[in-house]
Amino acid sequence: MKINRYQDISEIEKEAKKDYIDRHSAFVHCASSAKKGEKFTVKVKVGDEYAHPDDFDHYIAYVQLWDGETFLAQANFTAGMLGSMAGHVEVDFNLVPTKKMKLTAMAYCTKHGLWQSDEVVVEVS
* Strands (DSSP E) found in the chain: 3-5, 26-29, 33-34, 40-46, 60-67, 70-76, 90-95, 101-109, 113-116, 120-124
pTM for the model stands at 0.91
125 closest CA partner among 3, 29, 33: 33
67 closest CA partner among 26, 104, 28, 98: 104
CATH superfamily, region 3-124: SOR catalytic domain (2.60.40.730)
Q: Give the tens place of pLDDT for each residue, 2-46.
A: 899 888 888 888 999 889 999 999 999 999 999 999 999 999 999
